[in-house]
Amino acid sequence: MNFEITFTPEQQEFQIRVRDWLKRNMPKGIEHPADPANLTRGGYEKQRELGHRLALEGWLYPTYPKEFGGGGLSPNEALIIEMELEKYDQILPPYYDSGGKLAAASIMVWGTQEQKSIFLPQILKGEVRTWQLLTEPEAGSDLANIQTTAIKNGNKYTVNGQKIYVGSSHGAEWSWMLANTDPGGKRHGNLSWFIVPMDLPGITWAPMDLIFAGNENGALSGFKNTVYFADVQIPTENLIGGENNGWQVADTHLEIEHGLMQGSLLGDHNLRRTLNACRKLKKRGNPLIADPSIQEILAELYIDSEVTRLFHIRIHWLRSSGQKISYQGPQAYLQMKRQALRAAKHTQDILGPYALVMDDKLSPEDGFIEVQQRGSIVAQHPGGTVEIQKLIMSRKLGLGKPSMKYGSKH
């Protein structure tokens, strides 16, 4: 056994190349605000610029095939890129592009050759940023209950409806949307996926007022929007995976959403920041970090962080060695969500009101700790609630299926 992620000599050279390249290519003044809601338009444009530059090297979506705009690289090489980006507080992609991640994965599996060659390069080369449009007022945990309709009408689909908890600030070129293509049809047999250019007539959106916008595994989102569709015309070529086959397509990519969190291998930011605060803040003359009762809470934070790391080490190993990921994906996702919530409480137990304040002088770690307090609550829901993660895990573990003979449809 070997728990260390080891790099071959070639990969070590690659790491040096990435490091040097980033020194030369990191846009000046790239932003990393504690609250992503404060990302300026200029800051967003710099993230996109970095995306373009990375894509020219095949490093934006490194593990995708070269022929579609990816880098054709291994999970280890992708990890190396993320490790080096981490030093600049950036990740892959450097902007919120969760729709792109999911759409690309689904198009790889379900797209026609033509769709792959048209849509994939634009996502993988960072020419477009894609929002995911899944959740609706009546379709949260019960995603199959999508009410937004896409009705075929010659060589177009006419789309009407509303999506919530969408995207980020500063707009998007595309969205990746699930819609109901057969309103009278069978549950799980009436949904379809579309790539939707966001500049089509009839699409409007407005920001939601949330305590934090959250993220779905990737760059943080500054805002979430409500997106409205009024008689929007989508070409039939933009349907991915076949009409009414949306549930099968969703299965492919929700698995991706629930399993790939490379970032967790790079260290626990909240733990690092809490430790920093404990070194600086004092109680009765001593730094907090020297207080045994605080060390006890720090141990809890550290243990939780280690469990998250180990779960992700295993996923990285399974992926790198081409093995199947089963319950381990939702398990790691569940652990991260729960860790965030526990960490918020532990951090407040340690720092008291300092954990809650957003103030130039008083906030430890530039306000990142206050943002984590709000963010940890929000983190419980995107990409499926905690209950949904448990449900997926239970299915993967075969719970409630006493014998194969009576096996369920899923």
Partner 1 sequence: MVANTSSMDLSLTETQEMLRSTIRSLVSQEFPTQTLLDMDSKKNPFTTASWNKLTSSGWTSLLIPEIYGGEGGSLTDSAILFQELGRGPVPGPHFSSSVLGTLILLEIGSEDQKAQLLPELAAGKEIIGLAHTESEYDHEIVGMAASETHDCYILNGTKLFVQDVLGTTQLIITALLQPNKLGLFLVNSSTYGLEIQELDGWSTGVSNVHLNHVKIPKSSLLGTETSNGWVELFAAVERALPVLCAYQIGSCEAVFDMTVKYANKRHQFGVPIGKFQRVQDHIISQINYLDAATLSTYEALWKLDEGKETAKSSVHLAKALTSEAHYQICNASHEVHAGLGIMREYGLTLHTKLSRTLYHYFGDPKYHKTQLIRSLNL
* Residue 300 interacting with partner 1 (CB under 8 A): no
User: x/- string (CB under 8 A) for partner 1, residues 162-191?
Assistant: --xx--------------------------
Are 342 and 304 in contact by the 8 Å Cβ rule? The answer is yes
Using the rule CB under 8 A, is 282 a contact of partner 1?
Answer: yes
Query: Token digits for 81?
Result: 């890129």
CA distance 141 to 9: 46
List 20, 67, 89, 142, residue binding partner 1 (CB under 8 A): 142
Q: Which of 118, 162, 348, 396 binds partner 1 (CB under 8 A)?
A: 348
Q: Binding segment for partner 1 among 12-20, 79-87, 147-155, 380-388 (CB under 8 A)?
A: 380-388
Q: Which stretch binds partner 1 (CB under 8 A): 71-79, 194-202, 248-256, 368-376?
A: 368-376
Q: Does 386 bind partner 1 (CB under 8 A)?
A: yes
- 341 forms part of the interface with partner 1 (CB under 8 A): yes
Q: Let me know: does 311 contact 317? Beta carbons within 8 Å.
A: no
Spatial separation of the C-alpha atoms in residues 19 and 57, rounded to whole Å:
13
Nearer to partner 1, 269 or 390 (CB): 390
Stretches 23-31, 65-73, 247-255, 277-285: which one binds partner 1 (CB under 8 A)? Answer: 277-285
36-51 residues labelled b (16+ CB within 10 A) or e (exposed): bbebeeebbebbbbbb
Which of 269, 345 has the CB closer to partner 1?
Answer: 345
Packing angle between helix 9-25 and helix 41-56, nearest 10 degrees?
140
Q: Which of residues 81-140 bind partner 1 (CB under 8 A)?
A: 135, 138, 140
Residue corresponding to tokens 């962080």: 305
Residues facing 147 on adjacent strands: none
Return all residues near 336 (Cβ < 8 A) that are at least 6 apart: 261, 264, 308, 379
Question: Positive or negative CA dihedral for 56, 263, 140, 376?
Answer: negative
Binding site for partner 1 (CB under 8 A): 135, 138, 140-142, 145, 164-165, 208-212, 214, 282-284, 293, 341, 345, 348-349, 352-354, 356-359, 362-363, 370, 373-374, 377-378, 380-381, 385-387, 390
